[in-house]
Amino acid sequence: MRLETDVLIVGAGGAGMYAALEAAASGASVILADRSLIGRGGATVMAMMTVSAAIGAQCPDHWEHHLADTLAAGYGLCDEGLSAILCEDAPKRILEMDAWKVGWAREDGHIKQAHAPGHDRPRCVYVDFLRTGPAVSKTLRHQLQNKSSIRRIGDLMIVDIAIEDGVACGATAIHLGTGEPVTIAAKAVVVATGGLTRLYRRNSGSFNMGGDGYALALRAGAELVDMEFVQFFPIGHLAPRLVGLDPIMWDPFRYKLGGILLNGEMQEFEQRYAVDSGRNDGKYVLTRDLATYAIMKEVEAGRGSPSGGAYLSFKHVPEAELRRAFGPVIDTLAKSGIDLTHNPIEVAPIAHYHMGGVKVNAAFESTVPNLFASGEAVGGANGANRLSGNAITEALVFGARAGRSAAAAARATNGRSTAQAFAPALDLLRRRKLSASVNPAALIGELQQIMMEKVGPFRTETTLDAAIAELDRLTRAIGNDPLSDGAPFDSVLLDWLDLRNMVAVAKSVAIAAHARRESRGSHQREDFPSLDPAWQFNQIVRWDDGKIELSRSAATKKAQELAGAPA
């Protein structure tokens, strides 16, 4: 099948849907493609907490205060121009979503804003109770309806970006239901594929978050930035099985209600690691970084909970207080057999978000002309660590900007791609062969284990060397020709294509982490435990004939240069 459009958007999470709306509003025809259902795959629909924006509804605020907090959280590595765009545009997007009836929680007639860690004041809007992401997704899905210039196509996995004369001109995809290849000729392409947390065995994300967009961009010739910075969430849900709730939901309740962390011997251990935290108010003893460290060290010492984490207990909190704080969530927990008045739950650090990604300019264009990126797929705005609530904001703000820029690029582009641009990917898909000897699904499991154990929240030269060697072994194991089970819904082919992307992206993370011989933000080296001012630069990853090339870039643009850049 051959399709044509002005703007192709790859991924229909918050960023992709916003990009589609803005590109269409700018007069472009749009194809919005997703390997899942439109607006129901990826992280946006799963995120249940908060969205940051200096709307000043709770108390006076200004986007420059938001920017100051974002830059501080980024440990000196933010692309300040992108951070400024993020903070300056945030109120517009949040108020637009309000006008679209997203349902931000209100108090005394104004939008309510919570005070989340790292912000200097209450700045985070949300939809009660734990419905933020689902409400954002639903609102954007509604906006997409009846927009005749936007064609929505689910179950379509983009396999490679088409390039002609060095310019992005569409993509080759596979329709998951039929296994048929599809080519999409486009004048501009926006990568809005979200993050990479599926690379890790323990993660807060979903099946379709294996870093496809980073791999697509790399193979297309674009640069990635800050790939070593993967954010881990300290107390992700581990056990018992929890259905229909955000796996990172426990943190606000931990500090609001004074949830207690216990090791496998049912002993409190936070105090042991709290020495330098400067916070010991009896409720929230450890900061997120220290909580991650403390839980991992307890597990390493053989004092983990049965599933390999720590217990989080609310047993000391009166039932009425629990019910007041958790609201209807208590009943959802009960459906999963969780009764907080009687039993602790098990928690552990889980991969949650990726600060790195496609390197873009202020128009959200990558180093490949007409190839744009938006949302979590973009690197640089959050530097070495991300402030809570900035990720959904980033999806909405960057989505809108990238959609407009892509529409402008499409207007300025004559003609469409020739068949030649699709030939390499079509040839790859045609080469698929039946195989009984290699199981790509098992190799994905191996990759996730390698990344969790050796490129996790705490890294050393030894673990990273071992990880890179094992990832090289996986590269050899998957070979150059796709594997197939011969069925129309070809799960073996899908696993092979996923693994191809995951290995490329995992190597980018491991090689960048190996090179950075210091600890900064989310990148913690046990063999180089301090922040080193000599490392105040970003690392750039390029793809050179199947090899990852690493270089340095000292150029973080000044906020003033790009704040207020033409929208």
Ligand X SMILES: Cc1cc2nc3c(=O)[nH]c(=O)nc-3n(C[C@H](O)[C@H](O)[C@H](O)COP(=O)(O)OP(=O)(O)OC[C@H]3O[C@@H](n4cnc5c(N)ncnc54)[C@H](O)[C@@H]3O)c2cc1C
Q: What amino acid positions are annotated as catalytic residues?
A: 288
Question: Based on CB atoms, which residue is closest to ligand X, 155 or 518?
Answer: 155
Question: Based on CB atoms, which residue is closest to ligand X, 286 or 392?
Answer: 392
Distance CA 350, CA 347 (A): 9
Q: At closest approach, how far in Å is the CB of 532 from ligand X? A: 28
Asked if residue 175 lies in contact with residue 155, where contact means CB atoms within 8 angstroms, the answer is yes
Structure tokens that stand for 221 in this block: 């010739």
Hey, what amino acid is at 74? G
Q: At closest approach, how far in Å is the CB of 540 from ligand X? A: 21
Q: At closest approach, how far in Å is the CB of 352 from ligand X? A: 6
- Work out the number of other CB atoms within 10 angstroms of the CB of residue 116: 21
Distance CA 350, CA 209 (A): 14
Distance CA 494, CA 553 (A): 35
What value does the CA radius of gyration of the chain take, rounded to a whole number of Å?
A: 23
Q: At closest approach, how far in Å is the CB of 205 from ligand X? A: 4
- Work out the number of other CB atoms within 10 angstroms of the CB of residue 303: 15
Q: At closest approach, how far in Å is the CB of 204 from ligand X? A: 4
**CB under 8 A, 24+ apart: contacts of 275-283:** 282/258, 283/255, 283/256, 283/257, 283/258
Structure tokens that stand for 351 in this block: 């991969």
Question: Based on CB atoms, which residue is closest to ligand X, 192 or 299?
Answer: 192
Helical packing angle, 440-454 and 491-515, nearest 10°: 20
Asked if residue 222 lies in contact with residue 167, where contact means CB atoms within 8 angstroms, the answer is no
Q: Would you call 97 helix, strand, or coil by DSSP?
A: helix
Asked if residue 47 lies in contact with residue 246, where contact means CB atoms within 8 angstroms, the answer is yes
Q: At closest approach, how far in Å is the CB of 105 from ligand X? A: 13
Asked if residue 169 lies in contact with residue 177, where contact means CB atoms within 8 angstroms, the answer is no
- Read off φ and ψ for residue 275, nearest 5 degrees: -45, -50
Structure tokens that stand for 548 in this block: 């990852």
Question: Based on CB atoms, which residue is closest to ligand X, 100 or 537?
Answer: 100
The residue ranges that bind ligand X (CB under 6 A) are: 10-16, 33-36, 41-44, 46-47, 49-51, 132-133, 157-158, 192-194, 204-205, 208-209, 212, 246-248, 353, 375-377, 389-392, 395
